[in-house]
Amino acid sequence: MFAKILIANRGEIACRVIRTARKMGVRTVAVYSDADARSLHVEMADEAVHIGLSPVGESYLRGDKIIAAALATGAQAIHPGYGFLSENPDFVDQVVAAGLIFIGPSAASIRAMGLKDAAKRLMEKAGVPVVPGYHGEAQEIVLLASKAREIGYPVLIKARAGGGGKGMRRVEHPDEFSEALSSARREAKAAFGDDRVLVEKYVDRPRHIEVQVFGDDFGNAVHLYERDCSAQRRHQKVIEEAPAPGMTEALRKAMTDAAVKAAKAINYSGAGTIEFIVDASQGLKADRFWFMEMNTRLQVEHPVTELVTGTDLVEWQLRVASGEKLPKAQSEIALVGHAFEARIYAEDAAKGFLPATGTLHHLKFPDAASEGATMRIETGVRAGDAISPYYDPMIAKLVVHAKGRLAALEALGAALSRTEIAGSTVNTAFLAAFAADPDFAAGDVDTSLIGRHQGTLTTVPPPSDETIAAAALAASGAGATPSSDDPWSSLVGYAHFHSVARRTWLKFGEDDIAAKVSVRADGRFQVALDKPYGDTNSHDFRATPRLARWPGHITVFEGAVGYTFAVPDPLARADEAAASTGSLRAPMPGLVKLVRVGKGDTVIKGQPLLILEAMKMEHTIAAPHDGVIAEIATEGAQVTDGTVLVRFVEEHNAATTAVS
């Protein structure tokens, strides 16, 4: 076994590899860019080496720097994770030439499966079924259009070097073929530097089912059953599960046999995935699946396979790469229970799943799964980390396992509803809505299901009055832990003749919200919302609901939805009010610590008038405009929010005073 390995990746997969390596007594070296200097994978590794600037082309795609880091630190092997250089055969050649071991397949195996058209021709020779279509080298438009007519519309144009839906176009009619081809070629060229395409029959109700395979250098190859990855948006996976719902024994045997045959055809060693497209229009049948492509690396969704087979695929990778045989024979690999993985992203589902950025000011996952289920969180971030625009915006993978599919799905929904993230737009509400979708719950899933239901799945209801009231309570500071030096918290639960009230303001989207927070004699907080949210509605709280306070904002969690409210600066609001009314009111309860002007003084805009001590801080109250002081609070006075601190002489009186 290796003594030390270098991980040529970042984020959750780097952390995932480090955990297994540590368990096996293998030391780890992390690499990092400028943006990742303080990231979790750097903190977890035994050593870390800086390899360049934040853009991937200056860091994680610099094979020369990664190999140099491995040699300098004495690492014996390089684990590529997924993405970046994991399926780059030239990098594998460079690793081997440097006297290091690549923890993955050979460069020859990667090349054999690297281009979709060549891989499909190879699979045809090996007896693996492939989608009817044209996978040849010739790329003349006349030939491609002719092949499309032979196949029969609708057809799918696919970039031969593609992935993630890039360079892919569905064509319904011959008249649309030319324009679709041009568009697919432009996108493929930009994404992969290769504009060559293949043309295939479009399957109306496609299921994306893949088989995990594993080989070693002794000619052994096994499968670890299948995963269903049909839940996709924009051709990218969202929720994966194992085993596939509705899978028959006949289809499972046919698919797993074909997958192992494919792996053996290229003498495959290491972890790999054979992806199939399945026609589900008439149910799952053993003669209605076709080879789509092979991923010659560990998949993002590998944890669901680990949970249903009781294996650690990263451990298998390290053992096989170090020269050992496969840890288990096919007969020793059992399929137990059901597992789901939900990919939690920083993205705006309502805006077409656009990636988002931001700082994760609050990040909290459930401590455990619901009864009868197990759960694991795969993440590469912590609270306080930033979601960088340079990399994939994945925050975490939430993975659950239970005895049956419905129990696992319920556990997934429950875990998502207890996940709290604030500081960036995230997709937890969408994931929870999809987990509860009746068709998905019934196992009636195909790759277009999310697209068909997207409007419903991405629509978030407005916050309830209770949620708004909770945000107002938090904004007032009344729900904070009592502190001896916080003048408001000292009043919690106390009222002299009448309850102490605090005025607070919020902003939700474009809506301005005002509320009054008071403390009842029994210690509960009462929140009354102004119109249009109902000034007659009051909400009593004995404890603060699930929420997170972060700079200038409050996020209240209602199930899997996080409603974020902006909290306007109370001093700015006080200035606005003063400008329109001629008086300055206390924006919060506090102590008048220092008074700097007196009655009759002429002041100019921005001049400090007094110091208000509140919320453990000193706040300078400045003049919102030029004027003359008519009245000012007494130094040492304890005031509540809304108390008049400064009153200005009205303009016509001020003018008379100035003349006289």
> What is the C-alpha separation between 208 and 280, in angstroms, rounded?
10
Write the CA distances from 152 to 147, 172, 200, 341, integer angstroms: 9, 10, 9, 36
Please tell me whether residue 213 adopts helix, strand or coil conformation: strand
> What is the C-alpha separation between 600 and 431, in angstroms, rounded?
62
Q: What is the CA radius of gyration of the chain?
A: 31
Q: Where are the beta strands (DSSP E) in 509-616?
A: 511-519, 525-529, 538-541, 547-550, 553-558, 561-566, 583-585, 590-595, 602-603, 608-614
Helices (H) and strands (E) in the chain, counts: 18, 38
> What is the C-alpha separation between 21 and 405, in angstroms, rounded?
31
Q: Whose CA is closest to 280, among 89, 132, 445, 169?
A: 445
Catalytic site includes residue 22? no
β-bridge pairing 77-79 and 4-7: parallel
Q: The tokens of 246 are what? A: 């509705």
Q: The tokens of 492 are what? A: 């919690």
Please tell me whether residue 278 adopts helix, strand or coil conformation: strand
Q: Which of 16, 297, 319, 647 is catalytic?
A: 297
Q: Cα angle at 218 between 217 and 219, to 5 degrees?
A: 95
Please tell me whether residue 291 adopts helix, strand or coil conformation: strand
Helix (H) or strand (E) holding 547: strand 547-550
Write the CA distances from 499 to 180, 214, 492, 640, integer angstroms: 69, 69, 10, 11
> What is the C-alpha separation between 77 and 64, in angstroms, rounded?
14
> What is the C-alpha separation between 461 and 593, in angstroms, rounded?
45
Which residues are the active-site residues? 297
